[in-house]
Structures are given as C-alpha cells and as structure tokens.
Amino acid sequence: MNQKLKRIIRTSAIVIVLLTFYIIFAVNQGDKSAKNYPNDINTENKTITNQSSEKDTSIFELSEQQDTDTHSQNDAKNKNTDSEFSSDSQTDKNTDTNKKEDSETDSEHKNNTDTDAENALAEMIFPYNGEWNLIVVNKYNPIPEEYEFELTEMKNGKQVDSRIYDSLQEMLNAAAAEGIYADIGEAYRTTEEQEAIMDEYINGYIEQGYTEEQAAAEAKNWVALPGTSEHQLGLALDINGDGITTSDQAVYDWLAQNAYLYGFILRYPYGKEEITGIDYEAWHYRYVGETAAREIYFSGLCLEEYLSQ
Ligand SMILES: [Zn+2]
C-alpha cells in the first residue's frame, strides 16, 4: 500500500513537471510567433504595368556585356545601414579595402567565366507565356511591357505581388515556429528605384575619376539593368536574419531546406553562376509555385535549366 502510494505520488510529480515544461514551451512559442509577423496584411493593392521609363538610355542596352543582380555577398551584412532601396553591392562602394578586394576578386571570377556564361545564357530566351510564376527575368529576358500585377504591402512597408503574399506569410510563420526570425530586406522595386540605384553607382564611379562610359560599364558589374531585375516583378525577396535573435546564416540554412514547401526557390544557387549569370545569393528567394519549387529543389536544377527541360 505504502509502495503503491509512493508510486502514485512519483508518477503525479513527473506528470506535473512535464506539464509545466510543456506550458512554458507553448507560451514561449506563442510569444515568438506573435512577435514575428512583420507582414500582416496592410493592404494597399495597386496594379502595376511594366512600362519602361523614358529615362532608359542606350548605355543600358541588353546586348552589353556583364550583368549581375544588385547583390553582393556584403549586402546582407550591411542591410541595416543601406538606404531603403540600396542594392547589396552598394556596400562595395562604401566599404574598406578588404571588401573592395573581395569585390575585385568577384569581378575577376566573373570575367573568367564570362564567355561561357554569355554563351549559355544567349541561347536561353524564355518568351512569357502567361505563367506568371514561371516568368524568367534576367539580362536576356527583360520584363515584358504588358506584364501586369497587383501589389500587397507588408507591415514593414515593402511590397510583394499579391499572389505570393499568403505563401510568404505561411513560410515566415513556419520559420518563426522553429525559432527562426527572418527579415525581408528587399522585395518589390520599381523601375525608377532600379534606375536610381544604377545612377547612384554610375555617379559614384564618376566621382572616383571614371569617364561616364567607364562608370556605366563598371556599374553594370554590380547592378541589374532597369527592367531586368527580378525584384521589379514583386516575386523576389531578399531574406535575412532579424539581426536580433536570428543570424543571417541561420535564416539561409532554414530557407535552403524549407522554402520549396511554400513555393519559393533559391534563385541563384552556388555552381549555377554560368547559367543564371549571377553569383550565388543565399538570401535571394523567388516564388515559382509549389509544384515547380518542389521539382527544382529535388532536381538540383536552376530555374533556367528547369524550364529548358
Ligand atoms: Zn535580391
């Protein structure tokens, strides 16, 4: 009897302890999830038509050599100090010698692979067929004039294509539920913003003593030409850590494993630089829909390869 009583007491104690842990854990998770939703719908839908701006000048001709997305590896780290629409590569200009060396190395690397990259890309024209989630935008495939979409604004003021909003929200919720707090650094960018970034770069180089022509050429190593950045579609996002509880790397790792479940792909994978024409970008995710995302994830192909199959 005494033994039985002891056993009952011991069992009850264990149950109470486990229950307490569970409650603490649940409350904690609840707090965290509540905390992370930077993206409550704060809707202000707009319809966007991609009309190329009159500001486009001949120096941005698509046939010209060398183009990258507007991100460099340094950007993620400096995102908080950059101006709202700054590109990743902006930091290259503003940073110290070490970082400049890094970017020079990048440029050399790009130059070495340039011919192959050009050849690979030159054959890949992807006419837009109305499948908005699979649209290809790069230096050989500018955004079609007639391409239209609506934007939804996130709580942090950034905008995305309304059609991807729910998936994005779901993905961020899932990450947060696992203690990964992500921050959307860049989302939709207007043509004018892309042009402003380009102009800023060109002016920066002119100030350094480059001629206008040289400055324009150099800027194109770092900034996507207006009309050829995926950010102008509202389908691409630069996702980093929140800088408080979650590191950039932790977010990149989580996204690399899970983003496809929500229809997003790592758009510029390592090893596919010659095809995408853009260096590996751990932070740049692109919505393609769940089916394509799953197939791309498991095949290891990049978007261009996937669509060329
Ligand atoms: Zn990006």
The total of structural domains in the chain comes to 2
Answer for the pair 161, 150: CB distance below 8 angstroms, yes or no.
Answer: yes
What pLDDT was estimated at residue 253? Answer: 98
Answer for the pair 185, 157: CB distance below 8 angstroms, yes or no.
Answer: no
Domain match, 15 and 162 both: no
pLDDT in tens, 110-133: 444 455 555 655 568 999 999 999
- Comparing CA positions, the residue from 170, 180, 171, 150 lying closest to residue 162 is 150
Domain match, 48 and 176 both: yes
Domain that holds residue 8: 1-35
Domain match, 5 and 98 both: no
- Separation between Cα atoms, residue 194 and residue 284, nearest integer Å: 16
pLDDT in tens, 5-60: 567 556 565 555 555 555 555 544 443 333 333 333 333 455 665 443 333 322 22
CA of 236 to the centre of ligand 1 (A): 6
As beta bridge partners, residue 160 has 152
- For β-strands 159-161 and 236-241, DSSP reports them as unpaired
As beta bridge partners, residue 152 has 160
Q: Which listed residue (281, 295, 304, 305) is catalytic?
A: 281
Domain match, 224 and 288 both: yes
CA of 9 to the centre of ligand 1 (A): 59
Domain match, 291 and 146 both: yes
- Separation between Cα atoms, residue 293 and residue 271, nearest integer Å: 18
Question: In the structure encoding, which two tokens stand for residue 170, read together?
Answer: 């779901």
CA of 231 to the centre of ligand 1 (A): 6
- Cβ burial, residue 77 (10 Å; 0-12/13-18/19+): middle
- Separation between Cα atoms, residue 231 and residue 194, nearest integer Å: 9
pLDDT in tens, 148-205: 999 999 989 999 999 999 999 999 999 999 999 999 999 999 999 999 988 999 999 9
Domain match, 185 and 50 both: yes
CATH number of the domain at 219, please.
3.30.1380.10
- The residue type of 182 is A
Q: Where are the beta strands (DSSP E) in the chain?
A: 46-49, 148-153, 159-161, 182-186, 236-241, 264-266, 284-287
3-state secondary structure of 51: coil
Question: In the structure encoding, which two tokens stand for residue 19, read together?
Answer: 């229950």
CA of 229 to the centre of ligand 1 (A): 8
CA of 54 to the centre of ligand 1 (A): 24
Q: Determine whether 281 is an active site residue.
A: yes
Element of type H or E holding 129:
none
Domain match, 118 and 223 both: yes
Domain match, 106 and 154 both: yes
Whether this prediction's pTM lies above 0.85 is answered by no
CA of 33 to the centre of ligand 1 (A): 25
CA of 69 to the centre of ligand 1 (A): 7
Domain match, 266 and 211 both: yes
- Comparing CA positions, the residue from 125, 165, 139 lying closest to residue 41 is 165
Answer for the pair 93, 103: CB distance below 8 angstroms, yes or no.
Answer: no
pLDDT in tens, 215-261: 998 887 777 889 999 999 999 999 999 999 999 999 999 999 999 99
